[in-house]
Homo-oligomer: A and B are copies of this chain.
Amino acid sequence: MANKNAFYAQSGGVTSVINASACGVIEACRNHSDKIGVLYAGQNGIIGALQENLINTSLESDQSIAALRHIPGGAFGSCRYKMQDIADNDSEYQRLIDVFKAHNIGYFFYNGGGDSADTCLKVSQISEQMGYPIQAIHIPKTIDNDLPLTDCSPGFGSVAKYVAVSAKEASLDIASMSGSSTKVFILEVMGRHAGWIAASGGLATQVQGEPPHIILFPEISFEREAFIAKVKKTVEKCGYCVVVASEGTTYADGGLLSGSLSEDAFGHKQLGGVAPALCSMIKNSLGYKYHYAVADYLQRSARHIASKTDVAQAYAVGRAAVEKALEGKNAIMVSIQRGSGSVYSWSLGEAPLESVANQEKKMPRSFISEDGFGITQQARDYLLPLIAGEDYPPYKNGMPYYPCLKNKLVAKRCKQWTLC
């Protein structure tokens, strides 16, 4: 019987290094062509499997696959799609089995965060509960760094570097303008309900007292009076104030800052921005001139300033997923383990998917300074190695060289299927 084929898909919000993981998976599969047949990539994540939109990665040259290591976005398309529990509705799983069977797929590699780990876990259960033999391995990926049982998540280190560098650069800008102009600069960053990305803004402080002066974490309840007082004190002392604010910053009652105003400072209907909400408070309470930036997708696609450590880890977890599948593993996530020495080192391990799925690892309180507005040395020690090293993409004519794959779909063998 022919070797089993493999399926790989990208899931959830993409990162600047998720394609480095894809590169690791594909290169490892090619290295094990004696054991693994064709690697199919799902077009737009698990939806590609459900709709039998399978990309034949064997049609891509080794050179094109190697280039994935430095291309941001999701080369095969990603998705936000939550599968139901097998117990509630097994029709989607029956469909997956039909597609997997039709294409002789025995390995399932899923590249995503906590929600995607849930999908991967459910797929792994096909084996036991529905009798179709498949090994499902989860490849960690999330800029939010909120996956449990891994020291960090690929994707995070590069966002952390982008945010730290951007906060540093913008701080130098406002420092030179504050004498006669802008007094407050706010950088809004992602991270959902975990403050890891906001915390990384703290790495811009290289000498004590340097900006950012205030970091707002989802883990710390926002108190308007305390915030305004801190901004005022900082401007009076330093001449200006730099704030890094997590999009998930919330009041003690759980209400999001971003949803708390009906209108922003410009009179526009508020669209869910923490930075404009904060600016509005500052303008109203203190009257300072402000500027704000919303990094949004720029932060998670900024492959041009990726962390070398992050790229290496993203690639390695992809390769390891294939190795672990060949060792017969199922329902696990590849994890990153930090060495115990004083010099940073890392190795790969694994974690059971049922302990990973749908969990959020938040910042420990010990990583946040007592007043709730900064990071501690412990946080700094954790974060700094993750942004280490530069890994520049090649450039052509002033622009990074981000070529596209052919992404040719294989002929369908199953009947058409419509998403629920």
Binding site for B on A (CB under 8 A): 10, 13-14, 16, 43-45, 47, 71-81, 161, 164-166, 168-177, 179-181, 185, 187, 203-204, 206, 258-262, 264-273, 275-277, 279-280, 283, 289, 291-298, 300-305, 307, 384, 387-390, 392, 395, 397-400, 402
Inter-chain contacts of A206 with B (CB < 8 A): 399
- Supply 21 A–B pairs (Cβ within 8 Å), ascending by A: A71-B172, A73-B175, A79-B181, A80-B181, A161-B398, A165-B400, A166-B301, A169-B297, A170-B301, A172-B301, A180-B265, A259-B266, A260-B266, A261-B266, A266-B277, A269-B280, A270-B289, A271-B280, A293-B295, A384-B397, A387-B399
Smallest beta-carbon distance A261→chain B, Å: 6
Q: In the complex, what distance in Å separates the CA atom of A392 from the CA atom of B391?
A: 12
Write the nearest CB–CB distance from A266 to chain B, whole angstroms. Answer: 4
Whether the Cβ atoms of B301 and A304 lie closer than 8 Å is no
Evaluate contact between B402 and A384: CB separation under 8 angstroms.
no
Docked complex Cα distance between A180 and B171 (Å): 37
A384 to B16 CA separation, bound complex (whole angstroms): 24
Which chain B residues border A307 with CB–CB below 8 Å?
398
- Known A-B contacts A177-B13, A300-B173; A397 and B402 likewise in contact (beta carbons under 8 Å): no
B268 touches A73 (CB 8 A): no
- Residues in B neighbouring A72, C-beta threshold 8 A: 169, 172-173
From B80, B180, B268, give the contact of A44 (CB < 8 A). B180
A-B pairs, top 8 by smallest CB distance, nearest first, are A73-B172, A74-B176, A44-B179, A293-B296, A387-B398, A169-B301, A259-B266, A173-B301
CA distance A298 to B167 in the complex (A): 8
Asked whether, in the complex, the Cβ of B170 is within 8 Å of the Cβ of A203, the reply is no
- Interface contact B398-A176, CB-CB below 8 Å: no
For A43, the chain B residues whose CB sits under 8 A away are 179
How many angstroms between the C-alpha atoms of A267 and B260 in the bound complex?
9
- Give the distance to chain B from A415, nearest Cβ to Cβ, in Å: 21
Q: Least Cβ distance of A250 to chain B in Å?
A: 14
Our pick among B16, B77, B172, B181 for the contact of A402 (Cβ within 8 Å) is B172
Q: Are A78 and B165 in contact (CB under 8 A)?
A: no
A392 touches B392 (CB 8 A): yes
Given A78-B176, A180-B80, A266-B258, decide whether A164 and B297 contact each other with a Cβ distance below 8 A: no
Q: How far, in whole Å, are A173 and B272 apart by their CA atoms in the complex? A: 17
Q: Told that A79-B180, A276-B276 touch, could you supply 17 new A-B pairs with CB distance under 8 A?
A: A10-B176, A14-B177, A72-B169, A72-B173, A74-B173, A78-B176, A78-B179, A79-B177, A80-B181, A165-B400, A168-B399, A181-B264, A203-B398, A258-B266, A275-B294, A293-B295, A307-B398
Whether A177 lies near B78 (C-beta < 8 A) is yes
Q: Is A81 a contact of B180 with CB atoms below 8 Å? A: yes
Query: Closest B-chain residue to A166, C-beta based?
Result: B298
- Assess the A73–B176 pair: CB atoms within 8 A: yes
Choose from B168, B264, B303 the contact partner of A273 (Cβ within 8 Å): B264
Among A13, A81, A298, residue most surrounded by chain B Cβ atoms (within 10 Å): A298
Collect the chain B residues with CB atoms within 8 Å of residue A297's CB.
169-170, 173-174, 185, 291, 293
Verify B269–A304 contact, CB threshold 8 A: no
- Whether A168 lies near B402 (C-beta < 8 A) is yes
Q: Are B289 and A166 in contact (CB under 8 A)?
A: no
In contact, A390 and B395 (Cβ under 8 angstroms): yes
